[in-house]
Each structure stands twice: as structure tokens, then as C-alpha cells.
Structure 1
Amino acid sequence: MTPFHQLTATSLGGQLIAMSDYAGKVVLVVNTASRCGFTPQYGGLETLYKKYAAQGLVVLGFPCNQFGKQEPGSADEIAQTCLINYGVSFPMFGKVEVNGSAAHPVFRYLKNALPGVFGGRIMWNFTKFLIGRDGKPLKRFAPITTPEKMEAAILAALET
């Protein structure tokens, strides 16, 4: 089992979820926020999820309040924003930190595997990590990269 598949996270509804549940799937992990300039990317992420779920894509959203306090809401408020405003149906997790000593293990692992331009730190909301079916991190995308611009990389991962 890969290191990614050994990790767990708590869903927005409070259930502990093993990343091994996503073994054999292409996973896109995203740190999200409801009050960010990039928040409309929820719509593009949902479009990708619906378009490719049957082929094995899963999007995992991890709300984060570390950047500009742009995710101040409770789990219920986050769920309402995602569903009502963007129709999000992909799995959402409880609010996490992505940097610092309290960074969630999923993000500690992904930042170590794909450090990015800023030496391992996540600089803002909607940083995205693409993980192959085998659990190995493949590519990191900046917050400004729209979901539509990731489609070719997702298709390539789905084909392997």
C-alpha cells in the first residue's frame, strides 16, 4: 500500500475515511475555501468529477481557513455553500490546515512528494494535487490553474 493510501481524513459529516477507499482511482485533492476569489472553481471541479467519475476520477475537497480567513464557516455552512452555490457532489472533508505544525497528514505527504515552486508550502486556496490510481502523486497545480486546464493531465492519469 502506498503512503497516500495509508492516510485517513475526517469527512465534512464527521466520518473517518481511509484514503485506501480510493485505491485504483485517480484522485484530485484540493484545499478549498468558500469566500475566495477562486471559489467558483468548485463548479469546474464538479464538472470534471461528473464527467470522469465513471472512468475512475474522484475529487476530494479539504476546506482550509489558513489563507485570508476565507473559510470561517462551520461544517454545515461549508456543505450548504458547496451544494447550493456549486452543486458539489464530490467528497468534502472537515476543515484542515495545510501548512505549519498542525498541517493535515494528507497535505504533509503531498507537499513532501510534490514540493512546488515555494519549497513545499501551499501559498493559497485551491492548490490541487493529482494522484494516480496506484496512489503515487503525479502533478501539483497552482490555485490559478482552472479545473478545465487540468483536464489533459487527468485524462492521461485515467488512461494508465
Structure 2
Amino acid sequence: MTDTDKAAGELYELTFYVQRCIRYHMRRTAFFMRWGRFTAFVGVISGSATVTSLLTHAPTYVVTISALLVTVASATDLVVGTGQRAWLHNDLRKRYLDIEAEVLACARPIPDDLMRQLKSRIRRIEADEPPTLPALELLARDDVIRSLYTKEEAAAYLCKLSWFKRTTAHWFDWDTSEA
């Protein structure tokens, strides 16, 4: 393997990693924004005077479920801090986008000192990241693979996650060693 091949492979790995991180944080941002909107919607609807007056004639269990739904949704939103998490992941995504833009603007091959600087910046971003969710990382990886390859070529590289793990990837720290 020549030095040019090694540099090209290193650049490909760096670019792939950065793109995966961008997509991961984009997914997390969207998830927390949707969750925040959902809890706000539940709070507004359940707390409105119309719904409250309709519930006065409803069976006790309906009123109890409605109150419980508002309480659980609001408490989850408060404890998780969906707004702050959405902003954090959006900020991390932007920092990775800055690195990607710098890589795209560089002449080829990228000088070794610049490659070291980029990797150092990535490590500083990683230090600010909350723990990652492996199943969600695999979904972000699949997004990058789909963007780089044709459908037929990508099929050979995509991970095999069950629909349940894909659906709950934002909520649970799944073991993905089999995928």
C-alpha cells in the first residue's frame, strides 16, 4: 500500500465517521424536538378548558388517565430536558459539519498536520457528547451507506436490526453486537 493509498483510506474513514456523527446528531435533535412538541401538545390539549369541561361528564377512569398522561409527559419532558438536549445535539451536528466543510475545502492529499488537527477537533467534540446509543449509531451508519452507494451495493453493508430495536433506538441502549 502506497502512502497515497493510505492517506486516501484515512480520509475516507474520517469523512465517513464525520458524516455518521452528523446524521446521528441530526436524528437525536429531531427526536427531542418531536418529543418536546408532543408533551407541549398533550399539556395544552389536556389542560384546555374545553377538554376539562368535557371530562367533568366522563367516567372517572377517563379523567384519571388524562391527568396521568399530562403528568407523565410533562415530568418526562422536565426530567429529560428535551429542549436542552435538542440544542446540544444540534450544536454537536454543526461542529461536525464545520469539520466536513473544512475537509471538502482542502486540497488532496490532505497534509498530515491538518489531518491530525481535524482528528484532535473530533476528539474535543466527542468529549462534549453524551453517551451514544449503539442501535442509533448503526441507523446513522446505514444512512451514510445509503447516501454513498446504490441500493444494490448498499444492501451488502447495511446492518440487520429488528424493527423493534430500530423503533426504540432513541430510548434504549441495545446490544448491537449481533447486528
Q: TM-score, normalised by structure 2?
A: 0.23
* Structure with more of its chain in strand, by fraction: 1
Rg larger in 1 or in 2? 2
* Structure with more of its chain in helix, by fraction: 2
Q: TM-score, normalised by structure 1?
A: 0.24
